Chain A
Amino acid sequence: MHQAGKPNSPSMKSIEGLVQRFERRLRLQRIVTGVVEGGALGLMIAGLSIAAVRTGWADPVMLWFALSSALICTAAGALIRGSQPIDTVAAAQQIDRTHGLHDRLSTAISLARRDVLGDDDRAFVSAQLQDALRHVDGVDPRRAAPWKRPPDLFLLGLAGLAVLSIGLLPVPDHEQPLPETFAATYGQVLDGATLAMERDRLNELRRRLDELPDDKAEAIADEIEALLDAVENRQISEREFLEQIEALLQDHFGDDSDARELETLAQALAEAALDSRSEHDEALGEDLPELEQAMEALEEGDFQAASEALAELADRIDTEGIDPDDAERLADFLETFAENLDSRDERLQELFEEHRDTFEELAEQFDNDGGMDEQLLEDARQQAENAQQERDAYNESDARRQLEQLSRELEQTAEELRDQAEQDRQDGDDGQDGQPDGGDEREGPAQAHEDAPDDAERIEPGQSDDGDNDRPDYRNEIGRQLDDVSRQLEEMDRQKQRQQQREQARRQLEEMRESMSRSGGDSEQDQRRGEQMEDYMDRARGEQQEGESQSGGGDDGEEGLDQIADGQGDSPHDGGEGGEDGQGADAAGSGGPEDDDGLLDDGDGSGDDIEFAHRDEQLSGTEGEEGPTRSEIIRSASEEGFATVDYQDVYADYEAIAEEVMEREDVPDGYRYYIKRYFQLIRPAQ
């Protein structure tokens, strides 16, 4: 009996074996629990890794980390849970509790591990062991340790679903195309009417460019169109709008050398033509009307007309020939014209050198005597130097080259004409001597002039000298050279037209800037606006002070109401204001027949024909001392205050004033049309 309580006794082995089976089952459950816990943790880590990989935050190598982390966590969970110690007595207690054994098995195991001293106690322990053994057979470890669902099984399933979702469902990542860049929408820089008008002007410019292509003007037109598109789409602010216009003006019109050269060219030709006509005033228009027309056209700067006139002359010489005297006169005239072209430059050079010498002498003299402001002398000398620099620039310019080329060709033509005339006279003399021989050979058109007394001396087209067949056809040569001159002038005209196209683009840019200034701006006080409006009305009615209307420097580029006011205040005999240069021309007081080439060519202002011939005038304004000009006042008023209120109000005010003035004053119908057209263009959209 006493051996029964020993740990290694068969009875105890039976009990311990039962408990060990229970422990294995319990350990297995713990391992499963550990697998579930570790698996859930691993799946969560794997899910994060997969998400990081799929969204591009991590390298695809991280997938291996995900897989390994899941496996490692699962194994670690099983290992940790499985290695947790199990108390045998506690396990036996669990069996006792589930089987209602009242701690028989646990007590047996516990007592077997404890030294029992007395015999009575050993006997009792043995009895207790036997009592426990009697209940061993009825013990089922599965009942003691029923299979329990791991507590984290739901979490495991959830993590698995999450991993599947992350792995299978499309996950938005940061590599997807970014949303379109936010397009800032700005306020309306130009109103719709102005925008439409500017586009019309641009289309007109493009039509002109189609007729006469100009790369530079094309580029400007493209940039203007892009700018208008940006304005229409409200992709540009007022400041950017102004900056871009300034940039365009600076890029394309900052250097106005082309315009100056063209102006210099036209001026040189006009002066040369005027001088040449004054020197050869004798009946030039009767025998050579084409030359007379060409010179007049050159004086007016109309290269096209001059070219056409010269082309007609060349054609007439080509077809009808030219009288030797006329040829002589034509040669003299062309030579004079060529000399005038050259002498202009030489005179300027001589004048400059003369002035410089004078300055140097004065400087030396007053340096010796003293009492002369050295700074004044230095300024004068500096001005002379600047003139020299400009002179040098002119010498290197295309205008100079063109003038030189034209001069050479004219001289060559004149020489050819003179040689031809001389030769014809000689041939005429020889012809008179040998009339019977050579008269039969004259045929064709020459036959029609046989009644003319000087027909024998006339240079006929196709005429050949029987005695000198190797002589060149001078008539054709003269016609060809005149054609060259004509083409050169035509080229100059094209240059002029291109320059006009660019100028038109420049005006459009400036007017767009002005339109923006009128339609934009910060808010101002209504009272101030009212005062400005009243001031504007006074001035529009011509009630301003006398000095204000007569003084002030020229300010080219003013138009619109400025023109209207000028047109109303000035005499109709002034011929109207120049469309682009009206204010400057008016302020300069240079009206009259010479200035009657502005917006309207109808000098009395009553014409309503919009077809007009105009000439670009570059007038420099002079600073006045009697206050701002009318245009300055109106412009400053519009920039400072008119745009502070709604455009509709401003428009209504302006239109009312204009209507009032038109009703009260005797405004020509042509002007009325432009005024109404203007307000129609600037009418608000709503």
Chain B
Amino acid sequence: MAPEKSPVSNPEEQVQEFQKDCGRIREEIGKMIVGNRDIIDGAIMVMMAGGNVLLEGVPGLGKTMLVRTLSQVLGLDFSRIQFTPDLMPSDILGATIIVEEEDGSKHFRFEKGPIFSHIILADEINRATPKTQSAMLEAMQERSVTVGNTTHKLDPPVFVLATQNPLEMEGTYPLPEAQLDRFLFKLTIRFPDLDDLHTIMDRTTQADTPEVERVVDRDRILAMRTLVRHVPVARHVQDYALRILQATHPDHPNAPEMTKRYARFGSSPRGAQAILSTARVHALMDGRFNVSCEDVRHTAVPALRHRIILNFEGEAEGIEADQILDAIFEETPESKS
């Protein structure tokens, strides 16, 4: 792995390159993925922030296409895991098998699973058993896989995109809150509008299929990740993000009425981490050297929507976390004074 170039030698230039690369990545992905600009940006932001994404959407909306295209654009390895109820952890992580050499000797060799890849698509992750899900999520969080007495580090960058179908809940194992917390963003893929559908039809039913090019390589991605971490966050912006986080807790004084009425639990501090990490990326993608409150609000929705646990009333009323977050944004001022 080539050493990362210090991104701060020339911040202005680095920021511009970052913005430019992100733009190219977005353009290349856009060749294959019609619409869903927010999903693409979200995926880029999470990848640059070093997190993982949970994609939620009905089948056929291009989730797999998005992940594949992203791997092609970024020039990274890609593996897809279709989660089924009989999927075992070893099916993901890999297993130690006995290998017989040509000379007849036998020894144990660890056969890597699909997790050992840069970009992993965990398709319909909620269909696997919690045991398998836990194995997957451990690798996502620790960036390593322990099999037997051997720990195998995953080669960075590791970027997991898990999908789940919100409709077919029968025979599924919904992810527990602790595991949902491991995902930096939860992106909800909406059904495309008519124009986007036309475009999709044009691109997928004709003889010529669009080709995407690799825009960046692995090193560049790591450099961009390093640059992200140097983006300064002012105290009042961070304070704003934290106050938003507090407002997700129904028992907090600053919580809006909607939170108090429909939320059962609020976000963990990981939510604020996700907000600020992705906000930095968002600022850089916008060509700025600082994180603004707008960045916080932009990233707070996908970062917190899966971290707010609704209570029974909220579930019964069909309240979505996005509605609670909108109420929080309305009632949380950017500055305290």
**Is B128 positioned at the interface, with any CB of A under 8 Å from its CB?**
no
Within 8 A of A (CB), among B261-304: 283, 286, 288-295
Also in contact, A97 and B290, with CB within 8 A (given A114-B235, A123-B8) = no
> CB distance B8 to A124 under 8 Å?
yes
CB distance from A118 to the nearest CB of B (A): 8
Q: Which of A101-109, A136-144, A483-491 lies at the interface?
A: A101-109
**Neighbouring B residues of A107 by C-beta, 8 Å:** 232, 234, 237, 290-292
> CB distance B289 to A128 under 8 Å?
yes
**Neighbouring B residues of A94 by C-beta, 8 Å:** 335
**Is B190 positioned at the interface, with any CB of A under 8 Å from its CB?**
no
Q: How far is the CA of A121 from the CA of B237 in the complex (A)?
A: 17
**Neighbouring B residues of A104 by C-beta, 8 Å:** 288, 290, 292
Within 8 A of A (CB), among B165-224: none
Q: How far is the CA of A96 from the CA of B286 in the complex (A)?
A: 16
Q: Which of A85-93, A187-195, A240-248, A451-459 lies at the interface?
A: A85-93
Q: Which of B289, B293, B294, B295 contacts A124 (CB 8 A)?
A: B289
Q: How far is the CA of A121 from the CA of B231 in the complex (A)?
A: 8
Q: How far is the CA of A89 from the CA of B293 in the complex (A)?
A: 13
Q: How far is the CA of A126 from the CA of B12 in the complex (A)?
A: 10
> CB distance B294 to A102 under 8 Å?
yes
Also in contact, A89 and B236, with CB within 8 A (given A102-B294, A123-B8, A123-B11) = yes
Q: How far is the CA of A125 from the CA of B237 in the complex (A)?
A: 15
> CB distance A116 to B292 under 8 Å?
no
**Neighbouring A residues of B236 by C-beta, 8 Å:** 89-90, 93, 103, 106, 110
> CB distance A127 to B15 under 8 Å?
yes
> CB distance B290 to A131 under 8 Å?
yes
CB distance from B333 to the nearest CB of A (A): 9
**Neighbouring B residues of A126 by C-beta, 8 Å:** 11
B226 (CB) vs chain A CBs: closest residue: A120
**Is B6 positioned at the interface, with any CB of A under 8 Å from its CB?**
yes
**Neighbouring A residues of B7 by C-beta, 8 Å:** 120
Within 8 A of A (CB), among B225-250: 230-232, 234-237
Also in contact, A103 and B234, with CB within 8 A (given A124-B8, A127-B11, A128-B289) = yes
Q: Which of B6, B15, B334 contacts A93 (CB 8 A)?
A: B334
Size category of the A interface is 20 to 34
Within 8 A of B (CB), among A178-208: none
**Neighbouring B residues of A111 by C-beta, 8 Å:** 232, 234, 290
A100 (CB) vs chain B CBs: closest residue: B294
CB distance from A309 to the nearest CB of B (A): 123
**Neighbouring A residues of B151 by C-beta, 8 Å:** none
**Neighbouring A residues of B235 by C-beta, 8 Å:** 89, 110, 114
**Neighbouring B residues of A96 by C-beta, 8 Å:** 292
B238 (CB) vs chain A CBs: closest residue: A110
- If over half of A's interface residues share one DSSP class (helix, strand or loop), that class is named, otherwise mixed; here it is helix
> CB distance A87 to B286 under 8 Å?
no
Q: How far is the CA of A85 from the CA of B294 in the complex (A)?
A: 26
Q: How far is the CA of A131 from the CA of B288 in the complex (A)?
A: 8
Q: How far is the CA of A350 from the CA of B11 in the complex (A)?
A: 156
CB distance from A392 to the nearest CB of B (A): 108
**Neighbouring A residues of B295 by C-beta, 8 Å:** 102
> CB distance A102 to B292 under 8 Å?
yes
**Is A119 positioned at the interface, with any CB of B under 8 Å from its CB?**
yes
**Is B105 positioned at the interface, with any CB of A under 8 Å from its CB?**
no
**Is B150 positioned at the interface, with any CB of A under 8 Å from its CB?**
no
A126 (CB) vs chain B CBs: closest residue: B11
Q: How far is the CA of A123 from the CA of B230 in the complex (A)?
A: 9
**Neighbouring A residues of B230 by C-beta, 8 Å:** 120-121, 124
Q: How far is the CA of A96 from the CA of B292 in the complex (A)?
A: 10
CB distance from B335 to the nearest CB of A (A): 4
B295 (CB) vs chain A CBs: closest residue: A102
**Neighbouring B residues of A127 by C-beta, 8 Å:** 11-12, 15, 289
Q: How far is the CA of A85 from the CA of B337 in the complex (A)?
A: 9
Q: Which of B6, B290, B294, B336 contacts A128 (CB 8 A)?
A: B290
CB distance from B284 to the nearest CB of A (A): 11
**Is B9 positioned at the interface, with any CB of A under 8 Å from its CB?**
yes
User: Which of the listed residues B15, B289, B293 has the most CB atoms from chain A within 10 Å of its own CB?
Assistant: B289
Write the B1-45 contact mask toward A (1 if CB under 8 angstroms, else 0).
Answer: 000001111011001000000000000000000000000000000
**Neighbouring A residues of B11 by C-beta, 8 Å:** 123-124, 126-127
> CB distance A131 to B289 under 8 Å?
yes
Within 8 A of B (CB), among A128-173: 128, 130-132
**Neighbouring B residues of A90 by C-beta, 8 Å:** 236, 335-337
Q: How far is the CA of A111 from the CA of B9 in the complex (A)?
A: 19
Also in contact, A103 and B290, with CB within 8 A (given A97-B334, A110-B235) = yes
Also in contact, A125 and B8, with CB within 8 A (given A93-B334, A103-B290) = no
Q: How far is the CA of A9 from the CA of B31 in the complex (A)?
A: 48
Q: Which of A103, A123, A130 contacts B292 (CB 8 A)?
A: A103
Q: How far is the CA of A97 from the CA of B334 in the complex (A)?
A: 10
Q: How far is the CA of A212 from the CA of B41 in the complex (A)?
A: 131
Within 8 A of A (CB), among B318-337: 334-337
CB distance from B316 to the nearest CB of A (A): 38
> CB distance B335 to A102 under 8 Å?
no
Q: Which of A89, A93, A119, A131 contacts B8 (CB 8 A)?
A: A119
CB distance from A684 to the nearest CB of B (A): 82
CB distance from A610 to the nearest CB of B (A): 105
Q: How far is the CA of A374 from the CA of B293 in the complex (A)?
A: 128
> CB distance A106 to B337 under 8 Å?
no
User: Which of the listed residues B289, B290, B292, B337 has the most CB atoms from chain A within 10 Å of its own CB?
Assistant: B290
**Neighbouring A residues of B232 by C-beta, 8 Å:** 107, 111, 116, 121, 124-125, 128
Q: How far is the CA of A124 from the CA of B232 in the complex (A)?
A: 7
**Neighbouring B residues of A124 by C-beta, 8 Å:** 8, 11, 230-232, 289
> CB distance B290 to A102 under 8 Å?
yes
CB distance from A139 to the nearest CB of B (A): 16
**Neighbouring A residues of B234 by C-beta, 8 Å:** 89, 103, 106-107, 110-111
Q: How far is the CA of A128 from the CA of B284 in the complex (A)?
A: 11
CB distance from A16 to the nearest CB of B (A): 15
> CB distance B8 to A102 under 8 Å?
no
> CB distance B288 to A102 under 8 Å?
yes
> CB distance A87 to B290 under 8 Å?
no
Q: How far is the CA of A123 from the CA of B231 in the complex (A)?
A: 10
> CB distance A123 to B9 under 8 Å?
yes
**Neighbouring A residues of B290 by C-beta, 8 Å:** 102-104, 107-108, 111, 128, 131-132
Q: How far is the CA of A85 from the CA of B336 in the complex (A)?
A: 13
**Neighbouring A residues of B15 by C-beta, 8 Å:** 127
B8 (CB) vs chain A CBs: closest residue: A120
Q: How far is the CA of A90 from the CA of B234 in the complex (A)?
A: 12
Q: How far is the CA of A223 from the CA of B58 in the complex (A)?
A: 114
**Neighbouring B residues of A125 by C-beta, 8 Å:** 232
CB distance from B74 to the nearest CB of A (A): 24
**Neighbouring A residues of B237 by C-beta, 8 Å:** 103, 106-107, 110
**Neighbouring B residues of A108 by C-beta, 8 Å:** 290
Q: How far is the CA of A43 from the CA of B337 in the complex (A)?
A: 30
Within 8 A of B (CB), among A566-589: none
B229 (CB) vs chain A CBs: closest residue: A120
Q: How far is the CA of A106 from the CA of B334 in the complex (A)?
A: 11
Can you sample 27 A-B contacts with CB below 8 Å? A85-B337, A86-B337, A87-B336, A89-B335, A90-B336, A90-B337, A102-B283, A103-B236, A103-B294, A104-B292, A106-B234, A110-B234, A110-B236, A111-B232, A111-B234, A111-B290, A116-B232, A119-B8, A121-B230, A121-B232, A123-B8, A124-B11, A127-B12, A127-B15, A128-B232, A131-B289, A132-B290
Chain A contact residues, CB within 8 Å of chain B: 85-87, 89-90, 93-94, 96-97, 102-104, 106-108, 110-111, 114, 116, 119-121, 123-128, 130-132
12 more contacts with CB within 8 A, not counting A102-B283, A106-B236, A121-B8, are A89-B235, A90-B336, A93-B334, A102-B286, A103-B237, A103-B290, A107-B291, A120-B6, A120-B230, A121-B232, A124-B231, A127-B289
8 closest Cβ contacts across the A-B interface? A120-B8, A128-B289, A127-B11, A110-B234, A103-B292, A102-B292, A107-B234, A107-B290
